[in-house]
Amino acid sequence: MILAGLATGAVVALVAALIPWLPSAASTQARQIDNVYWLVTIICVIIFAIVGGVSIYAVWKFRAPPDDIEDGSPIHGHTGIEIAWTAIPLALVTAITVYSSIVLHQVSVVSKEHGTIQVTTQQFAWSFTYPSLGGVTKGDLVLAVGRPVELELKSLDVIHSFWVPQFRMKQDAVPGITTHIALTPTKIGTYPVICTELCGLGHSSMRAKAIVMSLAEYGKWVRTQKGAAGSVASSTGGAGQGKALFTSAGCNACHTLAAAGASGKVGPDLDKVLQGKSADFIRQSIVDPNAQIAPGFQPNVMPQDFQQKLSSAQLDALVQFLVSATKKG
Ligand code: CUA
C-alpha cells in the first residue's frame, strides 16, 4: 500500500518537475533558491501522494456493508507506527531547516568586488542611486551581467518590498533602517521590479524595470550617465530638473502627464486638473494635497510630506515644470 503511494508520488513529482512553473532564472542566487523550493515541493508531493493513496485505499478496502451495524474492533495504538510518524517528519523538517539556512547564508554573501546601488522606496515609486556615478538617480535599476551588486534599501514612508521574480531575491525596505540584498545577474534582459508589500492604494502600480546589460553596453551607459550628471547640475532650478524630479519623486507612479510620459491612474490626470492653473495652485496641491481634492478622488491618498522630502529649490523646479507642462495650449 505504502509502496503504491510512493510510486504514485514519484511519478507525480517527476511530472511536476518537467513543467516550467517558475520564471526564468537570471541570477546566481536563483539556482540555489530554486533547489530549496523543489526540495520542499517534492517532499510535499510525496507525502500528499502517500496520505491520499492510503486514505482512498482504506475507504475502498474497509468500507462497512450497508447491513453491518457492529462496532469496529478496538485498537490500542501501535508503537512502531507512532515512532515512525514522529521520527520521519522530524527528520524531514530538520533537513529542510539545515539546507535552507545554508542556502540563505550563501545567497547573502556579498562578493568582495561588488558595486553598491542605493534603492529608495516611497508611495509608490522606486528610485535607484549610483554612488559610483556621482550619485545619479534613475527610475529603473540598471545592472551589468555577471557583476555582483549590493542593494541598500531605504524607505521614506511605509514598508515596501523589493522583488524581481527572475532574480528570486526579495527584501523589505523598512522606514528607519537600511536593509541589504546581494545580487549577481546572469542573463541579459529586462525584468520587472515589483513591490510585494501592501503599501497603500498605489501598491499594485509600484513597479520599475531591472535592466541587465552586456558589459560593453553597460560601459556605454555609464559614460552617458557621467555626462548627464554634469548637465543636470548645470541646469539646477530649471524646468529640466523639474521634469527629472517628476519621476524621481515618484509623481509619475500615480499621475498622468503627457509632458513627462507618465500614465499613472491612482491620482488625478494632471493634464486635465492642472490645465491653465497658477503656480500657487500647483504648489499648494503638492505640499497640501488635501486643500482641494479633485472630484472623484479621496483625501489622504497622496503623501502630504513633499514639503519635507523636497528642498525649496526642487519644489520651485517641479512647480515651474508643471506650470509649463500644463499651460493652456
Ligand atoms: Cu510599495 Cu507596495
Each residue's pLDDT tens digit, 266-275: 788 888 888 8
Q: Please answer whether residues 134 and 147 qualify as being in contact, where contact means their C-beta atoms are separated by less than 8 angstroms.
A: no
* 32 and 88 belong to one structural domain: yes
286 ligand 1 Cβ < 6 A? no
Residue at a domain's end among 195, 229, 263:
229
- Report H helices in the chain: 2-18, 28-61, 79-108, 215-234, 239-248, 251-254, 270-273, 279-287, 306-309, 312-325
The number of angstroms, rounded, from the C-alpha of 143 to the middle of its chain's C-alpha atoms is 16
**Percent of all residues in the chain with a pLDDT value above 70, rounded to a whole number:** 94
CATH of the domain at 216: 2.60.40.420
Arithmetic mean of pLDDT, 116-138: 91
pLDDT of amino acid 329: 62
Q: Is residue 198 part of a domain?
A: yes
Cα–Cα distance, 99 to 108 (Å, whole number) = 14
Cα–Cα nearest to 89, from 42, 44, 38: 44
Look at residue 234 and tell me whether its pLDDT is greater than 50: no
Q: How far is the CA of 124 from the centre of ligand 1 (A)?
A: 6
Q: Is residue 16 part of a domain?
A: yes
HEC string of 30-86?
Answer: HHHHHHHHHHHHHHHHHHHHHHHHHHHHHHHHCCCCCCCCCCCCCCCCCHHHHHHHH
Q: Please answer whether residues 121 and 154 qualify as being in contact, where contact means their C-beta atoms are separated by less than 8 angstroms.
A: yes
- DSSP secondary structure string for all residues of 71-124: PPPP----HHHHHHHHHHHHHHHHHHHHHHHHHHHHHHPPPTT-EEEEEEEETT
Arithmetic mean of pLDDT, 276-298: 85
CATH of the domain at 14: 1.10.287
pLDDT of amino acid 83: 95
Q: Is residue 10 part of a domain?
A: yes
pLDDT of amino acid 229: 56
Domain range for 43 is 2-61+80-108
* 221 and 243 belong to one structural domain: no
pLDDT in tens, 82-116: 999 999 999 999 999 999 999 999 998 888 888 99
User: What is the side-by-side strand order in the sheet with 179-183?
Assistant: 136-138, 125-130, 115-122, 149-155, 179-183
Cα–Cα distance, 37 to 102 (Å, whole number) = 14
Q: Is residue 67 part of a domain?
A: no
Q: In Å, how far are 31, 102, 190 from 22, measured between CA atoms?
A: 11, 22, 17
Arithmetic mean of pLDDT, 73-84: 89
36 falls in which pLDDT band (50, 70, 90)?
very high
The C-alpha cell of 96 is what?
529542510
Q: How far is the CA of 264 from the centre of ligand 1 (A)?
A: 15
The C-alpha cell of 100 is what?
535552507
265 falls in which pLDDT band (50, 70, 90)?
confident
195 ligand 1 Cβ < 6 A? yes
Q: Which residue has the higher pLDDT, 118 or 304?
A: 118
* 6 and 100 belong to one structural domain: yes
- Predicted TM-score (pTM) of the model is 0.68
- The atom number, within ligand 1, closest to the CA of 202 reads 2
- The atom number, within ligand 1, closest to the CA of 160 reads 1
Sign of the alpha-carbon torsion through 185, 187, 193, 196: negative
Q: How far is the CA of 205 from the centre of ligand 1 (A)?
A: 8
* 195 and 210 belong to one structural domain: yes
Q: Please answer whether residues 229 and 289 qualify as being in contact, where contact means their C-beta atoms are separated by less than 8 angstroms.
A: no
- The atom number, within ligand 1, closest to the CA of 204 reads 2
pLDDT in tens, 188-208: 999 999 999 999 988 998 999
Look at residue 14 and tell me whether its pLDDT is greater than 60: yes
Which protein residue's CA is at the shortest distance from atom 1 of ligand 1?
160
* 97 and 123 belong to one structural domain: no
Total of domains in the chain: 3
Look at residue 236 and tell me whether its pLDDT is greater than 60: no
The C-alpha cell of 267 is what?
491620482
Cα–Cα nearest to 28, from 169, 141, 130, 161: 169
199 ligand 1 Cβ < 6 A? yes
The count of residues in the chain is 329
CATH of the domain at 266: 1.10.760.10
